[in-house]
Each structure stands twice: as structure tokens, then as C-alpha cells.
Amino acid sequence: MDSVGQIKQRFEIIGSNLKLERAIEKAIRVGPTDISVLITGESGVGKEVMPKIIHSQSHRKHHKYIAVNCGAIPEGTIDSELFGHEKGAFTGATQTRQGYFEVADGGTIFLDEVGELPLPTQVRLLRVLETGEFLKVGSSEVQKTNVRIIAATNVHMQQAIQKGQFREDLYYRLSTVEIDLPPLRERKEDIHLLFRKFAVDFSRKYNMPTVRLEPDAIAVLESYRWPGNIRQLRNTAEQISVLETERAITASTLRHYLPDHNIEKLPAVIGKKGTDDSDFSSEREILYKILFDMRADINELKKITANISGGVVSETEADKPNLNETRTLSSEQTAILSLPENRKHTIVDDYDFAEEIEEEETLSLHQKEIELIKKSLERNSGRRKAAAEELGISERTLYRKIKQYDL
């Protein structure tokens, strides 16, 4: 088993950051085993180096090592690429093709950007991890493979699981050991070393003198956040090596190659833990606001309606006579208003006019059948044969009915 220093020298890893060295140490320790490894980190931090270290330290190092970028394969063909297909399995499948898992049998397969895999492919990958079995596209024959799977992703896996974009069981199966690589902004002591290394490489490649940074340029280089990490630093070193005629790079010159360097980075308010991160939260707030506005409008209409109704009532009541006012009635008016005594006994009972409802005739088939049999027997003076003919049934059926109904 090689040491961390030997691994760094063999794979040209620059830097002395503690997190980086811890990640290399993990890769060396899991190498001799067949444990599945998940490598996490931002884009451009160099995740593709770790699977090579693990493969070099394993007993599979003399077998094939295949790296697959899952994000670069179209969703419609990724199953065919990984597991192979039979001739005629789909349009254009003119011959049988081996997939990566079949070709890498006995070796190691590195699945880069595994978080981009479609859900149906994740199910098939889970079966390979658990049983080592897979099916070619268009085939019903189960095949076995002995391959070690190392995966890498720059996606936040827990968030992807919550959104239903990645299977939780597959995540725990892949991340038996998880190696996290730190971003370049957390390796400030390594930034200048990496720049010098890239500058030397490009000076040899393009046959030109090596660029060097002034002290003020070094300060700018180390204070920059490097969102693209090592990949962005390498591209910046290549641009400066090719485009600049002066080999001594000052801070003002370097700033021209750093995008968004002068833009002030202010802290942003993000969703707190436990809050709803649904994509429809803003729409829900808009709907609530509309409902509250509608409620306020309805209450306002109710008030207006009540005020209008109150005004009509007051005008109507103004036309009514005052009941409390004392009025002198003539004898004729008194006679008209007084009720005769015999009217006291002329109150008509409302129930005298109630309509009599005839009882609804029964619609039971059982009762109708009994009535028809009785009428037919009476009409034929008890002659069962004639009654059976009249009813349109056999004499035997009539006997059974008479016995059944006890007629």
C-alpha cells in the first residue's frame, strides 16, 4: 500500500491541504476492498482522480478501468450504453452490443455525474449493486458481472432524494464510503502552487517563457472565490500564458481574467430549515393574497348593501302612520273596525281541506301471483288444468305454486 506522498507524486496532485490529504488517505484505505465509494464535491475539484487512485490500490488494477459520464449520455440510450443490447432490440440495433458492465467484468467502472441518471436506470443499477445481475436491452437472459462501482456527483444528494430525483436506497448502496473533496476556495494555501504548476506546463506546451505573479497579483489570486475551482484556475493560467506578452503579471492584469471580480458579493437570504421548499410556494402566497382581497371586497359589498337596505327601510317606515299617536275614531269607523261576536266561532280548521290520499296499490309480484292464481281457480271452478292453461303455465307448476302458497 502506497503512502499519501507517493500517491500525490504518481498522480501529480498538488497541495498540502488537510482535507485533501484526508480524502487521499481514505481512497488508499478502501482501495484493497470491494466497497462501493461515492465521491462528492463541486464541479471542477478533480473528482476523476480519486477513482484512479482506488483502482490502482485494488486487486482489480490489472483489469479494465472504464469511466462513464452519465450526464453526457442521452436518456434514451443510457441503458444500452451501460448494459448492452440485442440485435433488433430497437430501431438501429443492427447487431448485438456489449455494455460497459459486461466489458468491465472483473475491473472497475466509474460513474461520473451519477446524480443525472434517470430513475428507471437507477433501478437497474441498484440490482447490479445488490446481485451483480443485469439484463441487456431486448434480452430475457440474465447475465452476471463482477465489477466494482465507484460513483461521483456534484449534486446535493439529500435534496435530490427529497425532490424524488434520486432513489434513497441507491444512494445508501453507493455511499458505503463517501469521500468529499474540498473546493479550491478552502485551499487558499494551494492556489498559488497550482497556478505555478499550470504555468510551467503551458510554457512547455507552447514553447514560451513561464509567467510569474507579482506579490499583489498573488493576493488577488488567493482572495478570489474560484467558483469553477481547479478547472477555472487551469483555464486562467492558460489564457495568461498565451495572451500576455509581459511574463510578470500584476494585480491589475490578473483582474481582467477573473470574471465578476469587482462585483460585490452580498449575503442572500435562503430558505430556513423546516420551511416548505416547494416550487409552488410563491404561487400559493399569490393565491392567498387574492383570496384575502376577495374577502375584503365581499365584506365591503355587504356593508354597501346593508346601507342601501337601511335607507329604503327608513323611507318606508316614514310613510307608515305612527302607532303611538292617539287618534279619535268616529262611531262608523268603530263599527267597521269592531268584529262581530259570531265571527269568533267561524274559524275554519285547516285540516278540513286536507286531501284524502288513497293508499297506493301494492306492486309486489308475490301478491299479484297469488291473486291471479286465486282468480283463475275461481273462474274455472277449481279445475286446475284449465286454470294452468289460462295462466300460461304447466299444470305441474300450478300444483307447486298452490302448495307453496297454501291455496
User: pLDDT tens, 69-108?
Assistant: 999 999 889 999 999 999 988 888 889 999 999 999 999 9
- Give backbone dihedrals phi and psi of 169, rounded to 5 degrees, phi first: -65, -35
Q: What confidence category does residue 281 fall into, taking pLDDT thresholds of 50, 70 and 90? A: low
Q: What DSSP designation does 67 have? A: E
Higher pLDDT, 339 or 29: 29
pLDDT for the residue numbered 381:
82
Closest CA to 190 of 393, 8, 380, 321: 8
Largest pairwise CA distance in the chain: 136
In angstroms, rounded to a whole number, what is the distance separating the alpha carbons of residues 60 and 147?
Answer: 9
In angstroms, rounded to a whole number, what is the distance separating the alpha carbons of residues 64 and 148?
Answer: 11
Q: In which residue are the cell numbers 402566497 written?
A: 285
Closest CA to 98 of 88, 113, 110, 85: 85
Mean pLDDT across 357-372: 65
| pTM, rounded to two decimals | 0.64
